[in-house]
Amino acid sequence: MKFDSVPSGVYPELVYPEYKSTVKRGPLQPLLRLDAALPVSDNIATPSGLVLPGEIDLTRPDGCAGEAIGERIVVTGRVTDEDGKPVRNSLIEVWQCNAAGRYRHKKDQHNAPLDPNFNGWGKMLTDGEGRYRFVTVRPGPYPWGNHHKAFRPAHIHFSLFGNVYAQRLVTQMYFPNDPLFDYDPIFNSVPDAAARQRLVSRFSIEETMHEHLLGYEFDIVLRGRDATPMGL
């Protein structure tokens, strides 16, 4: 990806003091530009077995006896370039905490229950129009110790791969009108206010399924003036 194709202020700084851990892990030397691999062909075949059955429905993970607890939602959107052209057959991974605000990870030990029927991760491929879709539960906010009364807004992590695994972009999707936005240094590490709003999904009555799922849309633009902030 060409970083100079993304306007200044869209991507967060690699070291953002209010987000304390970036001070310790952020690079201290200038970044190096590497030549990208050959571009992905529009006719690339879907890799066999890359996405397994059930990985687009996080509420019914394989090996679990029941359904996840929480507000069931469907998230859908398109991945495009700066000209609105679809990014086809792109591998997307998602991960999130459960409805109580806890990740299924040994390092997450805060006092919230684990859901035995929710692992919190999945993956999918974009289709010929660059569209993706998955079913999950709305994640809860959680404390993270960055500062006094630090709670993360509800969010879902997205990882997008190019034609090789070294080409990977990571972002976060938030939910509309979250009162924690003003207090979250990760969300606010994106300098441009308009770019921050591109991290917020849109409620969709069209995608809402009657008595079953609430719908949200989250489009991802990889380059240009409307690029989605990455590196979060």
What is the per-residue pLDDT across 147-187, written as a single tens digit (0 to 9) for each?
999 999 999 999 999 766 668 899 999 999 999 999 999 99
Longest dimension (CA), the chain: 53
Catalytic one of 78, 155, 196, 198:
155
Residue 105 is a catalytic residue = no
Three-state SS across the chain?
Answer: CCHHHCCCCCCCCCCCCCCCHHHHHCCCCCCCCCCCCCCCCCCCCCCCCCCCCCCCECCCCCCCCCCCCCCEEEEEEEEECCCCCECCCCEEEEECCCCCCCCCCCCCCCCCCCCCCCCCEEEEECCCCCEEEEEEECCCCEECCCCCCCEECCEEEEEEECCCCCCEEEEEEECCCCCCHHHCCCHHHCCCHHHHHCCECEEEEEEEECCCEEEEECCEECCCCCCCCCCC
Domains in the chain and their CATH numbers?
Answer: 3-27+49-221 (2.60.130.10)
Residue scoring higher pLDDT (163 or 60): 60
Catalytic one of 131, 133, 157, 223:
157
Residue 103 is a catalytic residue = yes
Asked which of 12-21, 62-71, 106-115 is least confident by mean pLDDT, the reply is: 62-71
Residue 152 is a catalytic residue = yes
Catalytic one of 72, 102, 152, 198:
152
**Residues 205-231 pLDDT 10s:** 999 998 899 999 999 999 999 999 999
Residue 216 is a catalytic residue = no
Could you tell me the pTM of the whole model?
0.90
Residue 157 is a catalytic residue = yes
